[in-house]
């Protein structure tokens, strides 16, 4: 049995407290009025030239500019260069900042935890022989699903009650005479409306929590069982979960992430998000495994298991790049304004450094570091590569969310770091608490022997 | 000149792998092992030098990438630039995203084909070559270990029997 060491617990609590302070600073320093906004950002972003450039952008891109999270409608800015309205818009983006800072790590850690469950279910469904020694670690990493999804749900409810402007479509109208009329919503309103949105979100959360509960309950039942009944039941559960996950993750990504830029669309998007979070989840599983093994809790885990996790990190880094490029190239080639408006802030605008940087971190770096078979057997190498991969995919989610919520004035300051630390602390606490619930060695698994002698 | 070799036949890859380990532990030199399919971990158990095919694959891949880049630049940019979908046709760098699938495919194509050819050359096999296989059963479901014999072979024989060999023959091999 694993016991949550008090040092790690203290560390997790310290992260949570530090993070909470950072989040609070973010909320307290948010400008309330346009004047406050100008005073705060005068030195950095709201300079005369920058301002002129961005209003020009707004008047030329009348059709698509709400991709950058316009609170109003297209014709609000199209006809005139109303500076007061523009200032108000910038203020809203600044007010979105602490919420965005919260939303990004909340989504990131939840999806990491969820994808760890997917990885686990794949091992179960494929009756994998190499991985049973890691089953309890994977189960532990899914421990964040319950608190994580509740937090995300609360954030979404706050957004739905107009507590923030993360989702621009919540402020649009399909009435052509209304000031906030949005032509795109005429065809999307049946899906993107607040009651249905919240209903769906609750369904997702219930599905993930429910499946996790039953899969883990069956896995624990294996320890006491004298026959293979729980094992077979878990196989069925995992297969059903994988199907349900693939269907509902599509809508989850559409709703929770893609609807932030509600004028833009890409069918590939959910798979892209999945690939990003899946490789992060495998990396986190590798981290927890290496940590526990270093502490002596996983005597049966050998370098061969670490090597296999490294292979998955390598493979899914490339898979992510493949999807990234598949999405990018079609939109780049077709060059349709509605689609390219999404790429303008990311590839050409303020996010260029992050967008290109994450490509290097998520593709070039893993492919060079993790290609060699011998390197993948060295735990500290996996940790080094994993840190870069995790940072890269965190930036990925940052770039998915931020351009639609805070616009071109993005920062990575105290609120963002605070929120990241807060959720990291919570994640560590939830995961390692979950690890203490059962023996780390799932002895009764029929493939345990094969896993123990597994040798690459 | 002739030499004696011992041929030990096995009918299971796990038994064979353990046998190889035991024979190596007893300080015998294993000349060759014939198997109907690749046995995982056999090369390390036999103490073979690590294959350099990975290095060649990487180099061939680079060759393919370089060739594709040169060829695309020649046909699409220098020799006959065309206006396709209004994409910049006079700059390789700006048109690069459109070339990525071809760059990738050529990398794979070169690596795969040249590796197969290298493997044939390295293994000294070519079309119509007479098989070197000592026993046709190793192309079906049996595994054969070949060990050169010097002097008395009874101890070795006993060892092989203990490891689970189903058949042991001593063969005069002429060179």
By C-alpha distance, the chain A residue nearest B97 is A329
Hunting for tokens 């040169």 — which residue is that?
B70
- Judge whether A121 lies within some domain: yes
DSSP A185-227: HHHHTTTS-HHHHHHHHHHHHHHHHHHHHHHHHHHHHHHH-SS
Residues of B in contact with A329 (CB under 8 A): 97-98, 100-101
Low-confidence residues of chain B: pLDDT under 70: 1-2, 174-175
Residues of B in contact with A332 (CB under 8 A): 97
Q: Do A328 and B97 touch (CB under 8 A)?
A: yes
A374 touches chain B (CB under 8 A): no
Say yes or no to pLDDT of A9 above 50: yes
Please tell me the total count of domains within chain A. 1
Q: Do B100 and A328 touch (CB under 8 A)?
A: no
Tokens for A369? 């570091």
- Judge whether A10 lies within some domain: yes
What pLDDT is stored for residue A42 in this prediction?
62
What pLDDT is stored for residue A419 in this prediction?
95
The closest of A437, A435, A440, A429 to A8, measured between CA atoms, is A429
- Whole-number Å distance between alpha carbons of A127 and A24: 47
**Whether residue B59 is found in the same domain as residue B115:** yes
Residues of A in contact with B100 (CB under 8 A): 325, 329
For an interface test with A, give the residue of B89, B97, B101, B102 to mutate (most A CBs within 10 A): B97
Q: Do A333 and B86 touch (CB under 8 A)?
A: no
Say yes or no to pLDDT of A350 above 50: yes
| Domain of residue B152, CATH code | 3.30.70
- The rounded mean pLDDT for chain A is 88
Of the partner residues B86, B87, B100, the one whose CB lies closest to the CB of residue A325 = B100
**Whether residue B44 is found in the same domain as residue B64:** no
The residues, ordered by sequence, that sit 6+ positions from A206 with a Cβ below 8 Å of its Cβ are none
The closest of B108, B97, B117 to B67, measured between CA atoms, is B108
Q: Do B97 and A333 touch (CB under 8 A)?
A: yes
Q: Do A333 and B41 touch (CB under 8 A)?
A: no
- Whole-number Å distance between alpha carbons of A159 and A397: 19
**Whether residue B74 is found in the same domain as residue B99:** yes
What pLDDT is stored for residue B94 in this prediction?
86
Q: Do B97 and A332 touch (CB under 8 A)?
A: yes
**Whether residue B115 is found in the same domain as residue B145:** no
What pLDDT is stored for residue B86 in this prediction?
79
- Judge whether A176 lies within some domain: no
What pLDDT is stored for residue B2 in this prediction?
60
Of the partner residues B41, B87, B100, the one whose CB lies closest to the CB of residue A455 = B41
What pLDDT is stored for residue A23 in this prediction?
94
- Whole-number Å distance between alpha carbons of A198 and A344: 30
Of the partner residues A325, A335, A455, the one whose CB lies closest to the CB of residue B85 = A335
Say yes or no to pLDDT of A283 above 90: yes
Per residue in A153-173, pLDDT tens? 999 999 999 988 899 999 888
Backbone dihedral angles phi then psi of residue B145, each to the nearest 5 degrees: -110, 130
Domain housing B94: 53-122
Q: Do A335 and B41 touch (CB under 8 A)?
A: no
- Judge whether A118 lies within some domain: yes
Minimum distance, in Å, between the CA of residue A333 and any CA atom of chain B? 7
By C-alpha distance, the chain A residue nearest B54 is A372
Would you mind telling me the total number of residues written for chain B in this entry? Answer: 175
First to last CA, chain A: 27
- Judge whether A242 lies within some domain: yes
Per residue in A226-266, pLDDT tens? 889 999 999 999 999 999 999 999 999 999 999 999 999 89
A328 touches chain B (CB under 8 A): yes
CB pairs under 8 A between A and B: 16
Long-range contacts of A166-172 (CB under 8 A, 24+ apart): A166/A96, A166/A99, A166/A100, A166/A103, A166/A260, A166/A405, A167/A259, A167/A260, A167/A262, A168/A66, A168/A69, A168/A70, A168/A71, A168/A260, A168/A262, A168/A404, A169/A259, A169/A262, A170/A194, A171/A71, A171/A72, A172/A73
- Judge whether B127 lies within some domain: no
Average pLDDT over residues A344-348: 91
**Whether residue B63 is found in the same domain as residue B111:** yes
The residues, ordered by sequence, that sit 6+ positions from A39 with a Cβ below 8 Å of its Cβ are A31
**Whether residue B88 is found in the same domain as residue B113:** yes
By C-alpha distance, the chain B residue nearest A372 is B54
Say yes or no to pLDDT of A77 above 90: no
The closest of A77, A98, A93 to A34, measured between CA atoms, is A93
Across A56-60, A305-309, A311-315, B56-60, least confident range: A56-60
Residues of A in contact with B85 (CB under 8 A): 333-335
Say yes or no to pLDDT of A63 above 80: no
For an interface test with B, give the residue of A333, A336, A371 to mutate (most B CBs within 10 A): A333
Residues of A in contact with B41 (CB under 8 A): 455
Average pLDDT over residues A183-189: 87
**Whether residue B59 is found in the same domain as residue B40:** no
- Judge whether A425 lies within some domain: yes
Say yes or no to pLDDT of A387 above 90: yes
Model confidence at A281, in pLDDT bands (50, 70, 90)?
very high
Please tell me the total count of domains within chain B. 2
What pLDDT is stored for residue A302 in this prediction?
92
Residues of B in contact with A455 (CB under 8 A): 41
Domain housing A332: 6-28+98-168+186-452
Model confidence at A81, in pLDDT bands (50, 70, 90)?
low
More confident residue, A97 or A57: A97
Per residue in A397-417, pLDDT tens? 999 999 999 888 788 989 999
Q: What percent of chain A has pLDDT over 90?
A: 64
């Amino acid at each position: 049995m694993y016991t949550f060491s008090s040092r790690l617990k203290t560390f997790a609590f310290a992260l949570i407290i530090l993070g909470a302070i950072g989040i609070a600073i973010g909320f307290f320093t948010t400008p309330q009025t346009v004047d406050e906004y100008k005073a705060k950002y005068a030195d950095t972003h709201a300079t005369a030239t920058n301002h002129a450039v961005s209003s020009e952008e707004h008047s030329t891109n009348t059709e698509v500019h709400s991709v950058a999270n316009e609170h109003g409608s297209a014709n609000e800015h199209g006809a005139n260069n109303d500076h007061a309205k523009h200032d108000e818009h910038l203020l809203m983006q600044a007010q979105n900042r602490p919420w965005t800072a919260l939303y990004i790590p909340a989504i990131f850690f939840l999806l990491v935890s969820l994808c760890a469950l997917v990885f686990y279910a794949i091992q179960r469904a494929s009756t994998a022989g190499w991985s049973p020694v890691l089953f309890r670690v994977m189960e532990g990493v899914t421990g964040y699903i319950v608190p994580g999804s509740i937090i995300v749900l609360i954030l979404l409810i706050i957004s739905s009650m107009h507590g923030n402007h993360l989702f621009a479509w919540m402020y649009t109208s399909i009435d052509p005479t209304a000031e906030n009329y949005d032509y795109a919503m005429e065809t999307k309103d049946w899906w993107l409306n607040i009651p249905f949105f919240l209903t769906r979100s609750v369904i997702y959360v219930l599905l993930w929590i429910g499946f996790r509960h039953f899969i883990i309950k069956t896995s624990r039942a294996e320890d006491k069982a004298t026959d293979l009944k729980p094992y077979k039941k878990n196989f069925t559960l995992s297969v059903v979960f994988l199907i349900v996950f693939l269907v509902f993750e599509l809508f989850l990504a559409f709703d929770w992430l893609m609807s932030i830029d509600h004028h833009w669309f890409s069918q590939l998007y959910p798979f892209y998000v999945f690939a990003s979070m899946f490789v992060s989840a495998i990396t986190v599983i590798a981290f927890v495994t290496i940590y526990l093994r270093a502490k002596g809790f996983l005597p049966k885990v050998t370098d061969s298991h670490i090597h296999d996790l490294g292979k998955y990190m390598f493979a899914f880094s490339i898979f992510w790049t493949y999807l990234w490029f598949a999405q990018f190239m079609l939109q780049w080639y077709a060059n349709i304004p509605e689609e390219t408006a999404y790429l303008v802030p990311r590839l050409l605008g303020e996010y260029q450094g992050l967008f290109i940087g994450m490509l290097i971190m998520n593709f070039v770096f893993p492919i060079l570091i993790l290609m060699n078979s011998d390197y993948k057997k060295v735990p500290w190498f996996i940790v080094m590569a994993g840190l870069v991969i995790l940072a890269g995919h965190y930036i990925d989610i940052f770039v998915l969310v931020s351009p639609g919520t805070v616009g071109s004035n993005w920062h990575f300051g105290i609120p963002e770091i605070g929120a990241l630390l807060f959720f990291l602390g919570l994640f560590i606490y939830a995961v390692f608490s979950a690890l203490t619930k059962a023996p780390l060695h799932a002895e009764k698994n029929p493939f345990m022997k094969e896993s123990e002698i597994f040798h690459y | 000149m002739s030499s004696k070799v011992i041929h030990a036949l096995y009918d299971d890859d796990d038994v064979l792998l353990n046998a190889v380990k035991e024979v190596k532990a007893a300080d015998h030199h294993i000349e060759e092992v014939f198997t109907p399919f690749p046995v995982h971990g056999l090369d390390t158990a036999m103490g073979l030098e690590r294959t350099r095919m990975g290095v060649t694959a990487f180099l061939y891949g680079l060759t393919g990438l370089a060739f594709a880049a040169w060829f695309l630049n020649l046909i699409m940019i220098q020799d006959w630039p065309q206006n396709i979908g209004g994409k910049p046709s006079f700059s390789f760098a700006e048109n690069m995203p459109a070339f990525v699938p071809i760059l990738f495919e050529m990398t794979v194509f070169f690596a795969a084909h040249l590796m197969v050819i290298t493997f044939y050359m390295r293994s000294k096999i070519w079309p119509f070559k007479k098989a070197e296989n000592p026993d046709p059963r190793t192309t079906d479901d049996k595994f054969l270990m070949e060990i050169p014999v010097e002097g008395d072979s009874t101890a070795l024989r006993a060892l092989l029997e203990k490891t689970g060999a189903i058949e042991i023959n001593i063969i005069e091999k002429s060179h």
